[in-house]
Amino acid sequence: MTLHQLQAVGLKNQAVNFQALPPLSLYIHIPWCVRKCPYCDFNSHEARGEMPEAAYVDALIRDLEQSLPLIWGRKVFSVFIGGGTPSLFSAQAMDRILGAVRMLLPLDINAEITLEANPGTVEADKFKGFRDAGVNRLSLGIQSFNDTHLQALGRIHNAADARRAVEIAQQHFDNINLDLMYALPQQTLEQAEQDVRSALQFKPQHLSCYHLTLEPNTLFHRYPPSLPDDDASSEMQQRIEALLAEQGYQHYETSAFAQPKKQSRHNLNYWQFGDYLGIGAGAHSKLSSHDSVLRQARYKQPQAYLEQVAQGAPVQTAQSLSRDDLCFEFMMNALRLNGGFSAELFSERTSLPLLLIRKELEQAEQRGLLKRDLQRIAPTETGQRFLNDLLQIFLRE
């Protein structure tokens, strides 16, 4: 057997063995919204009648308590409250949730605590209450400042609501993200650019610009609207990127743009393959221990989740990741970062040597999708635009 073959066998049989655990974040899922958008494939449910707010908050706290043995003693560096539409819940509910987080976990004193909100659920007093509860970063689901496009997307707010929501948010928060979408039904290049210009009038610290895609199990997938073709949507993307670069925003991830030092710390932890505990209906977790990496998914239906938490068993599925899983999932996240990742980070977050994916790295480099040196590995501009093709190289059967 050759030296290379011996190395390959050794790598294949290498066990996971972490010298230090990755940073830890907390994700909290609120599953209800006013109306399900036709493009949305998240675990969200229309609120028909009164939401069981108090019971759900009780369940979240109990879920967190039951999860403590998996993360005992580990500091939490960021919290993200997503949905659904978390801003449907009262400020008092958020205060209870975050109070329990601070009581049960060693929360970093400078932790980033983000809440998602939709303009159609904005109230000035509620935003002040969210800030008083400890939320220090707000993410507003604007999507567009064009009434026609908002209607086509099934949003419950209009352009005036969107502007008012940003103005109210800025009275209470100094770290705000605005979500926008492009390649919308019947959208022109000029309209896509105008949405970004409208957002820039508010000088938000962070912008997320997503290409509308037709996801399975959505209304748009079953009844596809007329969307801009690939050339038109590509031109929109390039125009948006150029406009934001002119305004000093750093394009640090596929869809994320930030003012200097205002990147989303919570999302960066995902992309750098950090750990996260997810609580709430349908929430996912990735948790490392000394010799394994565990994936969990909680029950998706809110009522089922409430019942399972009461029984002490909110986790529906759990599995330990294999070495191939770890390699692919690391690359699936880290290659979303335009600046790529350090060679050391791969070993730190997977406990595996980079040599394990040597052939895949060489293939990606030969195809012009990846660039690397002794310190850093990053997607090329072509790799950024054809990210799925790049990731496919690292997916082993």
Give pLDDT, residue 14.
Answer: 58
Q: Which helix (H) or strand (E) holds 167?
A: helix 159-172
pLDDT tens digits, 157-194: 999 999 999 999 999 999 999 999 999 999 999 999 99
- Burial track 144-154 (b if 16+ CB lie within 10 A, e otherwise): bbbeebbebbe
Among 151, 197, 202, 199, CA closest to 179? 199
The alpha helices in 37-158, defined as continuous H runs, are 53-71, 91-104, 124-133, 147-152
Mean pLDDT of the chain: 93
Can you tell me the distance from the alpha carbon of 268 to that of 251, in angstroms, rounded to the nearest whole number?
13
Taking only the tens place, the pLDDT of each residue in 369-386 is 999 998 899 999 999 999
What is the per-residue pLDDT across 205-249, written as a single tens digit (0 to 9) for each? 999 999 999 899 888 888 889 999 999 999 999 999 999 999 999
| Distance from C-alpha of 293 to C-alpha of 319, rounded to nearest angstrom | 8
List pLDDT tens digits, range 90-122: 999 999 999 999 999 999 999 999 999 999 876
CA end-to-end distance (rounded Å), the chain: 25
Query: Using 50, 70 and 90 to split pLDDT, how confident is the model at 15?
Result: low
Q: Using a pLDDT cut of 70, give the percent of the chain over it.
A: 95
Q: Domain 24-270: state its class.
A: alpha beta
pLDDT band at 3 (very low <50, low <70, confident <90, very high): very low
Dig out the tokens for 349 from the structure: 């977050």
Question: pLDDT, tens digit, for every residue of 300-310?
Answer: 999 999 999 99
Q: What predicted TM-score, i.e. pTM, was given to this entire model? A: 0.93
**CA-angle at 120, arms to 278 and 54, nearest 5°:** 45
Task: Of 252, 269, 270, give the one whose Cα is nearest residue 261.
Answer: 252
Whether 11 has a pLDDT exceeding 60, the answer reads: no
pLDDT of residue 6: 32
125 neighbors 83 (Cβ within 8 angstroms): no
Tell me which of 15-24, 57-66, 231-240, 381-390 is least confident.
15-24
What is the chain's length? Answer: 397
**Does CATH number 1.10.10.920 belong to domain 323-397?**
yes
Q: Kindly tell me if the per-residue pLDDT of 285 is higher than 60.
A: yes
Domain ranges of the chain: 24-270, 323-397
Angle of CA points 233, 236, 242, to nearest 5°: 145
Task: Answer yes or no: is pLDDT of 281 > 70.
Answer: yes
